[in-house]
A = this chain, B = another copy of it.
Amino acid sequence: MSRSVLLLPGDGIGPEIVAEAEKVLHKINDKFSLDLTFDSALVGGAAIDETDVPLPDETLEKARKADAILLGAVGGPQWDSLPMAVRPEKGLLGLRSNLELFANLRPAILYPQLASASSLKPEVVSGLDILIVRELTGGIYFGQPRGVRQLESGERQGYNTYAYTESEIRRIGRVAFEAAQQRGKKLCSVDKANVLEVTVLWREVMEDLKREYPDVELSHMYVDNAAMQLVRAPKQFDVIVTGNMFGDILSDEAAMLTGSIGMLPSASLNSEKQGMYEPCHGSAPDIAGQGIANPLATILSVAMMLRYSLNEDAAADAIEAAVSKVLDQGLRTGDIMSEGARKVSTREMGEAVLNAL
């Protein structure tokens, strides 16, 4: 049975890093006889430049049909002054919501080879391995009503709506409980239930779900405290589950604890396990086109794709082992460079992974 992968290089460093990940995909396809087929499409600023919209119908059609999607990154200063409805980010948000990719999995892992890259003390972060489960198609990102209106007083007011239904909370809760079952069996749900009614409901539904997962230890934490605890003692966490906005903030904070955001992949899944995979980092317009970006987060996103959407654990393991090997060899792109290591380009890093496969 042949399965299809859609490549969406996007903007900035996106095309460079996706090119390396694509080579890895081809090699893995041959080596493990996966029978994958490939296609590509435009999204984000690249799509705006060609078609005036960040998510062309053709791209959305291809995305719907694909078994899995690999995205580079979207956005850049040249599109920043466009009205919000036609900015590159809307391409990404449109894919998430149209495909109902409600479950965003963001691991924050410290690679032992890169321990010194963290701004935290080694004893605080060594061995760090957290999974953040972020709700991705609801909350304040998509809540209605929203906009900027003129009040009777004549002045303007901006407004957004933060809303969740019980079923939206329940389905992301299940993903998180199940992830915890397969890991350290500890789940921390992050909310602001002392101030926000929507998160009072969130907490209630999580408590309800707990009965179905008696082997998982559930705790609750306010978001301000969670932001603190991640800095103070991140290893206290196993799996964190939270809403779209808090997840955006906390997953980036957690990623930065490792000091090597150029290494961190992510998965966005729907209930059919169809998924979009992308590096945690952004489009990095400042270094785009120079061939120096780190392709490893994108390559590791391919590993997540193989594991979650394509059910090819052995192939995923092979990629992760290959990445670990090139790190052992002392190869580093600029973002993770340290004394004594060998600095390589985007392409050299990609080649090294291919060779290690």
Contacts and interface: CB of A to CB of B under 8 A. Distances in A.
Contacts of A158: 163-164, 196-202
Nearest to A226: B249
B233 A119 contact: yes
Given A162-B161, A164-B158, A199-B158, A194 B87 contact: yes
| A contact face: mostly helix, strand, loop, or mixed | helix
Contact of A162 (B124, B160, B225, B251): B160
Contacts of A140: 162, 196
A249 B227 CA distance: 6
Interface string A282-326: 000000000000000000000000000000000000000000000
B119 A231 contact: yes
A163 B155 CA distance: 13
Contact of A84 (B120, B197, B230, B233): B197
A142 B160 CA distance: 13
A249 to B, nearest CB: 5
A248 interface: yes
A146 interface: yes
Contacts of A93: 195
Interface in A228-253: 228-233, 245-246, 248-253
Contacts of A151: 165
Interface residues of A, number: 62
Contacts of A250: 227
A78 interface: no
Interface in A47-105: 75, 84, 87, 89, 93
B225 A252 contact: yes
B194 A160 contact: no
Contacts of A155: 165-167
Interface of A: 75, 84, 87, 89, 93, 119-121, 124, 140-141, 143, 146-148, 151, 155-167, 192, 194-202, 223-225, 227-233, 245-246, 248-253, 255-257, 259, 261
10 contacts: A84-B194, A89-B194, A120-B231, A140-B196, A158-B197, A224-B251, A227-B253, A228-B252, A228-B253, A231-B256
